Structure 1
């Protein structure tokens, strides 16, 4: 849906009025009612007052219409209101009921008739019932908990957001809470709960969340959002939770997902019939019981809502080889609540808090897939902690008829801690050799006695404050405000085991160069790596905005605004590492009521959006960061239980160029004049009402991302060879200014400008002679889409929505994370490590889905029995054949070249490569996700409802991601036998029973 609530038609029928239009966005967790009073003679009686009253809470708010009859009632909590019009000294005349939706404004135009001798005005029924949003310039989807109670939508905010047209689930390990909106990566979105930003700021993948039953309404903004929202080049998910009322209410809800109601996941086999993914024992059992209560502590003034949810989640999984079985348990409860104090009719204070902290304990056992035997004794135990406590306080005040304000302060906390029983004695050990190199498949890969990839202890704390204002001046509605976030990461990370070392075993061509040394005659080498970081890292994001919503004519709205942002990412020493100020994000939009009757609208907008730098950059690049890599000859395994290898002589020096444990002089490692990451967007749309219930919509969207902040390995600049092998954070393809050696005396003494579109990477011939410089291609990403929609609003009997999106997402960089190579550290991808990684890499990006069809609908068979279904159909994603080298120099990063002959030659120029274009190996299969549900209201005095939902009814388990490394890294010319095989699949069919009781 484009910016309208699906219940509009029923609402309009109840009023006999045109209520479907949405004015420019209201404050994040509120709505508004706007419109005009009109009369036959064109004159509005002086002093006319419009009042809305929420019968559930006694909340009352009134405004006086201006001389033209226009009025606006802002800062209205989501809900249903009675509306009336009155004149000075006269009795109020009832208009009808008005539903206020999240983040939007309901337009009610009221025709007035004669005024009685007692001063009572006659209210006449308007002639038009409209579902078209003639005053909205956004692309957004509003979905209420009432609609979700009818539909088979998994109880997760991500599943709700995926109902929006064009939204795509992320790939690989980034797909958990990740969504791609409008061609963006999954690390570019923002999530709000009751106006509090709860987005993960460590790497921007994920967010805090609350139980489904705690939410009241969702708004998913997919484009064109106003200046109130920022720090996103993807989408915005805006949610509001339930509140109390004068009526005491209580209830309970049981959600039950037993493993017996799940289809078995399929094991996956290669072309030789060998199992490479073991999944048939991967399942879970999940149940949750929540109880809630709400009511009034003081009638018409002070209300509460509280919820407690007991949880039990027991996931089982195996490793790919089928040798390890994991049995997890998570049973931490959720608690949350909300207090609303209506201080006066014009002032309100709301307090909101919840805890989503959860500990998962996983027992690890040895396992034999062929016999299905799980060892009796536990081999290890892993501990994971996520989530934390969150709260906010919001004060709103309608100062007078024209001015309103809202103030908010809140804190959002997310723990990220991982450890295990075996961490003290077990190192990570990986054997990267292949069968062609004489290593049996059962001895390849992970040979660790611990499954902990790292020891991590982290607490991310956001302190957020904002002030928002609205001021109505004639035909202009001015919206302005400011917001500030202090995001602090307290972080420690290291590899497990003695010395904190990870061991990787490789085969290299005997006699070839390696790390400044020579590969021994055996070709067997091992690399040890210490990878540690610790400290407290702060980022301050600030912004202020101004927007004018100008009603140029009664039928034409012009939205003009700008948001000015600043990002200040600080290092472990507390000094600014990356600081970017005065980023101006202009926004321009319009909405044209073509016929003047609210049935047809043309709208559009232009905007610029900036993306903050994730805290992972501060931590990994600007802290006491140690990355120590040492190469040795590999002499075989010791035979000890921890599989630590025997090491021979050291090969080359210890390499700690990426961090030696101290906070370095960061001027040499970061672009002094950093340009921000931003996206420009243009949207043009059309909506038309076919009848009181049916509407259609169409829109075209264009987005262009033109910059990146990423790490680059600068090997030389042509200036004294001053910068050699230094990793810097900068803007690929642009001029970067870093501290370096300006007078060739061997010490850094001044600023050096490096035009990385032309220089920054040294080129050498076969004899090692320097022959020149190479620069980086500029990052590009563009998205073009056509969206078509048809909607049939729910009328108590049935409702339906269908959308089709035709989209093209091209570029040479997905964004701050990379789905192709499954890299989740935002802003530290491999894309720009050297110029050859992205050379000739422009093409269809990982989140490109050419065709998307989405359907959802519900039908009431009887008063108590209803059925519903959702169907998602989408084409596959591009497949790229990644190589491990290039024809231009002797490096082994991912590339868009594949070696076809002389690949093992020690003379780089003798190797023969062919270009392997992005997306050149076809696409993954189309996927079909059909979910169905049946709901039954038990005919007893209390409200008891049963809902059985079945997800992925067809049990489609198609491939959604594949191994795209044709040549594994460090293995030029050695084909990966697993290339093209699936690595990610649709989840098997499962069923969910929900029992809801309300009193």
Structure 2
């Protein structure tokens, strides 16, 4: 009942905002842009009362304004596009500035100098939009429609263009090697925010873009008009402790336009994988992508449509091997498992097939209202896509599925001459089913990830996520001030089935010997879960945000943005409480997330050529509800998970048997997850300072300095271990397990005491598309530190600090610390209708920690950093993340030729080369330095993986 009242109250607040008599001016908007400027007479005096009209040359959409007593005007909530801007005043010649480009989130200056005339005359001028935005304090990077359409893109996922942003990196080396996953922008990947057409395009369960990292794309590249990445946003509409990815989709125009496209590549168009063994051939693979886009008028100047379809058929082998498997023991493995060893370790096929559809309508309701509606459908299925790890056997993999529908509407309105309003509404429903390849035998595995087989310990599972969102932003222009207030309400329901270890999981130390699988040795551990609820939970989490902001044009040269925001993540109350640990009956709601921000933009000379921008402020982020779901599931009541240390004499079944019921567990006690009663959401304090200058027409240079300090990051801590008074050889405390209660084993608590720090410096160069070419290049130096880099781990064995009660001991470089990164992209329209474009990147290798197979501190976790005896009685304890993988380098190239084929039809033939120089981009998964017997692993940091080799792709587009 309390939750219902909160939802009702939030809706009332939004309704009051929508119905308020006044609204709008903003320094920038979520899904639109703005034009502003000053009108003066021939003597340079300001001119009040001048009528200004901005008209979109493609759609006929028009908005009007009148200059105020200071000659100043502004026209807000303009969809991105090209405009003609007209100024009229009786007694003066009318002036038209043609070709004014409005981009997403921009504020474009268009000034007029009207000339006296006794008769009606018109002066037409081709406008040049300034390349330096002098009123925006935020540090942003824009990816234009020219870049999206013409740069090489492997896979057609437009979000990969986020990596053109200074400082943005893949989350780990596996993605550089061709995998998919999160993107870090100076913070954990889950700290980013995704918005498309002004609506939340995120899964708040996982803290990632809706659809996740399995689908090749969830929006067609052909449907995205442009997007921006905000590394620091002082606009209170946005909230993220990482980066904000903000995109808009295309709309129809007054002319019918469309394209039909197709792209193809297979193994014959690829060089050999760098680690392919001698005598082996490149396994067969094939990728076909095809689709169309079409837009046009239903009623000219009033009602337009746009639609697109994009699909992928993809199959490629997964490279598989069991590390250190003893030669000649294949038959023993088959006898013990009932599996075909050759099939289990073959380069078995994986697929990733996808279909996305988009439908959009834009309707201009008179001169004051623009209504847009957009439907997007995405469906993906991936065979053997659950695990990309080299040591994952065929039986241990699974089928990945994802589908979602999202319906978004937008209404932006002119309420009065000084008032504007925009409303966003969204309904979205996402399903993520995941199936196991086998349930016949439990999972088996060997220490140090030497090999895994049998039913994957977390398959099958599912997640349904349903979202209703309502947003209202309105502002009021008052003199030199733009006063803006807004609300964002997100009501989300989850149905999560995650019966981890329901099928049981064994872990052995070695392949052979007394503790080896093949010789019937004693397992290190066995884990199994039981549930009367099939491992499922249904719950709601609601998200509320309210803000107030002022953009103050303190002078023609200086703009100040400041405001406050409040965020609330209203967490659920668990449906059960485990009496053995009462904290399982609560999940706290963090209610004090007030943030204040201030930013400035200073046009140094008042000519729009140079700007100094900067600001400081506090930012909050949500906690992925995956953690809340796990705490509700794995509480020892809804799901009871039992872990036995077989080597220590705990009761364990005999492979491949499972326990039939908790009664079989005997002396074993369950593990549980719980949320710290003082848990809070992440909090980041951020400072930035930047300078940008137009060097020559259409080309700018800039430098940005950024500093973050983040507190209250999530990590895990076992509440059932305590120091036992002993020490490790190098003097660190050792621990007793089950030290608080012997009726529970691991009591894994989600706490929020981890911290992070980021320092970054960026040099950037930008040449806007003009004279047939564009260029965007940047160099980023960064230093990222933290004491826990895990994003949302619910593992009961990994991703724990080495000493769970001494986080300072883990302070050091972050797992995603990339010290140097260079990225450059360009496109050049050549004679004879040829175009060449390329993207080049270089970056430092990813950090990793030298591991130790021993549990030196006795806490029961595989989280030790290497401890090496350098001389008798003298030990060196390796710092966290003190090693780096090799540097990563890549160049992608695209060459196309366009020819007319009659009428309004033209055909573009495309050739693309990915990894042009065939860089090997090696990296190592051999991260264990010290073996269980204390010896040094001779294979430590040996090359085990390589990036994708040089690959070719051909394509064609038929445009009309």
Q: TM-score, normalised by structure 2?
A: 0.82
Secondary structure of residue in 2 paired with 1:619: helix
Alignment correspondent of 1:58: 60
Alignment partners' CA distance in 1, 2:308 and 2:856: 62
Alignment partners' CA distance in 1, 2:786 and 2:659: 45
Alignment partners' CA distance in 1, 2:81 and 2:396: 51
Matches within 5 A, 1:195-206: 195-206=198-209
User: Aligned in 2, Cα 1:123/1:290: closer, same or farther, shift over 3 Å?
Assistant: closer
Q: Determine if contact 1:245/1:303 at 8 Å carries over to the other structure.
A: yes
Alignment correspondent of 2:491: 486
Query: CA deviation digits over 1:761-801, x for unaligned, max 9?
Result: xxxxxxxxxxxxxxxxxx33211111111222221332222
Alignment correspondent of 2:231: 222
Alignment correspondent of 2:256: 248
Q: TM-score, normalised by structure 1?
A: 0.79
- How many angstroms does 1:730 deviate by? 5.2
User: Aligned in 2, Cα 1:506/1:379: closer, same or farther, shift over 3 Å?
Assistant: closer
Alignment correspondent of 1:470: 475
Query: CA deviation digits over 1:899-932, x for unaligned, max 9?
Result: 5499xxxxxxx998532112334x2222211111
Alignment partners' CA distance in 1, 2:809 and 2:559: 44
- How many angstroms does 1:597 deviate by? 1.2
Alignment partners' CA distance in 1, 2:385 and 2:137: 52
Equivalent of residue 423 in structure 2, options 407, 411, 424: 407
Q: Determine if contact 1:887/1:911 at 8 Å carries over to the other structure.
A: no
Alignment partners' CA distance in 2, 1:299 and 1:895: 68
Alignment partners' CA distance in 2, 1:363 and 1:854: 30
Secondary structure of residue in 2 paired with 1:894: coil
Alignment correspondent of 1:844: 813
User: Aligned in 2, Cα 1:920/1:328: closer, same or farther, shift over 3 Å?
Assistant: closer
Instruction: Please report the RMSD computed on the Cα atoms of aligned residues, expressed in angstroms.
Output: 3.9
Matches within 5 A, 1:593-632: 593-623=603-633, 624-632=638-646
Alignment correspondent of 1:812: 787
User: Aligned in 2, Cα 1:380/1:955: closer, same or farther, shift over 3 Å?
Assistant: same
List gaps (5 residues or longer) in structure 1.
1-22, 270-274, 370-374, 435-443, 513-520, 660-668, 734-778, 818-823, 903-909
User: Aligned in 2, Cα 1:809/1:348: closer, same or farther, shift over 3 Å?
Assistant: same
List gaps (5 residues or longer) in structure 2.
1-24, 212-217, 323-341, 577-584, 724-738
Q: Determine if contact 1:251/1:998 at 8 Å carries over to the other structure.
A: yes
Alignment correspondent of 2:845: 876
Alignment partners' CA distance in 2, 1:419 and 1:919: 35
Alignment partners' CA distance in 2, 1:584 and 1:806: 31
Query: CA deviation digits over 1:312-350, x for unaligned, max 9?
Result: 222322423372343244545322110111111110111
Alignment correspondent of 2:146: 146
Equivalent of residue 766 in structure 2, options 782, 791, 814: 791
Work out whether 1:319 is the aligned partner of 2:320: yes
Query: CA deviation digits over 1:462-493, x for unaligned, max 9?
Result: 22211111211100011210101122221112
Alignment correspondent of 1:335: 357
Secondary structure of residue in 1 paired with 2:271: coil
Q: Indicate the larger mover: 88-97 or 402-411.
A: 88-97
Q: Determine if contact 2:715/2:790 at 8 Å carries over to the other structure.
A: no
Alignment correspondent of 1:133: 133
Alignment partners' CA distance in 1, 2:59 and 2:106: 21
- How many angstroms does 1:538 deviate by? 2.0
Secondary structure of residue in 2 paired with 1:152: coil
Alignment partners' CA distance in 2, 1:451 and 1:826: 14
Alignment partners' CA distance in 2, 1:101 and 1:246: 20
Work out whether 1:355 is the aligned partner of 2:381: no
Matches within 5 A, 1:646-665: 653-658=667-672
- How many angstroms does 1:241 deviate by? 0.9
Equivalent of residue 219 in structure 2, options 170, 189, 210: 210
Query: CA deviation digits over 1:594-653, x for unaligned, max 9?
Result: 111111111111121112110111111123333222344799xx999x955999x99982
Secondary structure of residue in 2 paired with 1:840: helix
Work out whether 1:288 is the aligned partner of 2:289: yes
Work out whether 1:500 is the aligned partner of 2:503: yes
Alignment partners' CA distance in 1, 2:56 and 2:512: 78
Alignment correspondent of 1:590: 600
Alignment partners' CA distance in 2, 1:731 and 1:916: 25
Equivalent of residue 917 in structure 1, options 872, 875, 879: 879
Secondary structure of residue in 2 paired with 1:846: coil
- How many angstroms does 1:456 deviate by? 0.9
Alignment correspondent of 1:183: 186
Matches within 5 A, 1:895-910: 895-898=864-867, 900=869
Alignment partners' CA distance in 1, 2:602 and 2:806: 47
Alignment correspondent of 1:445: 451
Work out whether 1:391 is the aligned partner of 2:407: yes
Q: Determine if contact 1:177/1:206 at 8 Å carries over to the other structure.
A: no
User: Aligned in 2, Cα 1:68/1:945: closer, same or farther, shift over 3 Å?
Assistant: same
Query: CA deviation digits over 1:13-36, x for unaligned, max 9?
Result: xxxxxxxxxx96422111111122
Alignment partners' CA distance in 2, 1:472 and 1:827: 55
Alignment correspondent of 1:544: 546
User: Aligned in 2, Cα 1:603/1:569: closer, same or farther, shift over 3 Å?
Assistant: same
Alignment partners' CA distance in 2, 1:409 and 1:839: 44
Matches within 5 A, 1:2-151: 25-87=27-89, 92-114=94-116, 116-118=117-119, 130-151=130-151
> Between Structure 1 and Structure 2, how many residues are aligned?
861
Alignment partners' CA distance in 2, 1:591 and 1:863: 43
Alignment correspondent of 1:432: 447
Q: Determine if contact 1:162/1:179 at 8 Å carries over to the other structure.
A: no
Higher helix share: 2
Secondary structure of residue in 2 paired with 1:848: coil
Secondary structure of residue in 2 paired with 1:617: helix
User: Aligned in 2, Cα 1:890/1:163: closer, same or farther, shift over 3 Å?
Assistant: closer
Alignment correspondent of 1:865: 834
Alignment correspondent of 1:986: 947
Q: Indicate the larger mover: 237-246 or 499-508.
A: 499-508
Alignment partners' CA distance in 2, 1:88 and 1:886: 86
User: Aligned in 2, Cα 1:786/1:310: closer, same or farther, shift over 3 Å?
Assistant: closer
Q: Determine if contact 2:34/2:77 at 8 Å carries over to the other structure.
A: yes
Alignment correspondent of 2:928: 965
Alignment correspondent of 1:528: 527
Secondary structure of residue in 1 paired with 2:809: coil
Query: CA deviation digits over 1:631-680, x for unaligned, max 9?
Result: 44799xx999x955999x99982121316xxxxxxxxx433333321111
Alignment correspondent of 1:18: none
Q: Determine if contact 2:148/2:226 at 8 Å carries over to the other structure.
A: no
Q: Determine if contact 2:822/2:841 at 8 Å carries over to the other structure.
A: yes
Alignment partners' CA distance in 2, 1:526 and 1:713: 18
Q: Indicate the larger mover: 85-94 or 210-219.
A: 85-94
User: Aligned in 2, Cα 1:129/1:205: closer, same or farther, shift over 3 Å?
Assistant: closer
